[in-house]
A and B are shown apart, each in its own frame.
Chain A
């Protein structure tokens, strides 16, 4: 319910991070990603950030070279999801400092940790950056 999946894709269409909240086989995921990415990358800046695809919506935003795509149910609030994407980026920025695509590539597990703190079973459960980063900072300290 709520969020179906979260993807981070670069301009060339390569998926840098994918988190799914409903079960899809590997083949299905690849097909889905291909379709959606093609649709979103083809759009220009003047167009709105919401794309309708089959029976759900994709809310996306581009940050430098990375596209953040979130697939949501039709009943979900689009503007709220846009804010959620921004929160995600800000959280990563606070942790990595001037986060860029390479950071996510080299520290993929950290990005996943952060995402898992924020979203559980398709619902946003945590929005406080300090609360989200606390366990990750603990892990860093311990290692």
Chain B
């Protein structure tokens, strides 16, 4: 006891001296403060914890007062001071007995309390709990709930609906993190709860995941980052198209960026966004860009439009009228080098229902076209008819091989001689370009569903007429 009273007086003296000294000090004398802190630290560490516990109550208020004083003068050193002092349990007890706690102190001891609550030493945990019971505030409680819940999750189960509401409504990331931690503990007990919680958690992940990193990177000035952000979007796109669509404007703006790599990447992304509903709009936008760009990028755009549209036998195109006109427009763009591809697609589409094609070819108003064009029409009409005839003959199994056009004529005459030929031919000129396609109103989708026979039948009659007039030589 005598020893303790000695310590008390020693302590007291130091404290009073310290306070007096502090009052006399000018602000900024951090060296002396550190010295004083060191002394205090040494004293606290050297004193037997038992003795500190038994310190008289008169002594106890001094230290918090001192602390507050010190912290008030040197706000920047707060963290340092507390960090160095807090490891001792004695201090915690003293704080415990303090009548009031300033908010900054609360924030700083939260971490310490958290560590203590989760520690394996029962003494520490009990100390922390008692401290908490006296100084608990709403903030402190919400911050430390995960640690409290880990000790006894079952008692927190009834609160689960509350937490669920917070999970769904809250936009604050830190709160969400806390709630998630709690749910992690609770879900271990209640599997049904886990299933329910999965849904909103996935929503959160979706919303925050792509948005955070990508939109930040996309609007960055650094071209490297922009390129990588676009690449990341294109990797994510197959599974999460919504992320790409959200950043649509930025992607389209990047189409006109000065950097060719960035332009290529954004073009690829735009192509990924294409679907039945927005094909027309996107193609319009892209063609505008193509007109403004240099030849190389222009061809890139055209190439990608062509390849995307003809994928899976033109699955994304509903209105072939519009598509054929688009093909024509593309072929008229200067610097267009995709003529072969356009031609291939035109022929492909055209031959899907040849009889409408022939109808268009034989329209009387094609007589108005210049003679050269009419000659081309004529030739093409023949070509179409031969194609139809050939398909029909193949079907009927008459002609085994495909390579003897000379034998074709007599065979055909035999087979078709009993049919009648109602109309006369009006061999009209034919224009292989998009011009004629615009006059057609064909809709291959509907026609392709019917059997191959229909166009063949129609073509057969035409062919018969031809055959009667001149042999088919090709």
Contacts and interface: CB of A to CB of B under 8 A. Distances in A.
Interface of A: 43, 46-52, 78-79, 82
Contacts of A48: 223-224, 226-227, 259, 261-262
Given A47-B223, A48-B223, A79 B228 contact: yes
B258 interface: yes
B129 interface: no
* Chain A to chain B: the 7 pairs with minimum beta-carbon distance, closest first: A48-B223, A47-B259, A48-B227, A48-B224, A50-B261, A48-B259, A47-B223
18 contacts: A46-B223, A46-B258, A46-B259, A47-B223, A47-B260, A47-B261, A47-B262, A48-B227, A48-B259, A48-B262, A50-B261, A51-B260, A51-B261, A52-B261, A52-B264, A78-B227, A79-B228, A82-B224
Interface in B250-272: 258-262, 264
Contacts of B228: 78-79
Contacts of B262: 47-48
Nearest to B259: A47
B243 to A, nearest CB: 21
Contacts of B226: 48
Nearest to B230: A48
Contacts of A82: 224
Interface string B361-372: 000000000000
If over half of B's interface residues share one DSSP class (helix, strand or loop), that class is named, otherwise mixed; here it is helix
B364 to A, nearest CB: 52
Interface in B187-243: 223-224, 226-228
Interface string B263-298: 010000000000000000000000000000000000
A43 B260 CA distance: 9
B264 A49 contact: no
A82 B228 CA distance: 13
A19 to B, nearest CB: 24
A49 B228 CA distance: 11
Contacts of B261: 47-48, 50-52
B224 A50 contact: yes
A52 B297 CA distance: 13
Contacts of A78: 224, 227-228
A42 B114 CA distance: 59
A43 B227 CA distance: 15
B271 to A, nearest CB: 15
A78 B228 CA distance: 8
Residue from A43, A46, A47, A51 with most neighbouring chain B CB atoms (10 Å): A47
Contacts of B227: 48, 50, 78
B259 to A, nearest CB: 4
Residue from A43, A50, A51 with most neighbouring chain B CB atoms (10 Å): A50
Contacts of A52: 261, 264
Nearest to B227: A48
Nearest to B223: A48
B100 to A, nearest CB: 53
A79 B228 CA distance: 9
A52 B262 CA distance: 10
A47 B258 contact: yes
Given A46-B259, A47-B261, A48-B259, 14 more contacts: A47-B258, A47-B260, A47-B262, A48-B227, A49-B223, A50-B224, A50-B227, A51-B260, A51-B261, A52-B261, A52-B264, A78-B227, A79-B228, A82-B224
A82 B227 CA distance: 14
A35 to B, nearest CB: 13
A47 B259 CA distance: 5
Contacts of A46: 223, 258-259
A43 B228 CA distance: 18
Nearest to A77: B228
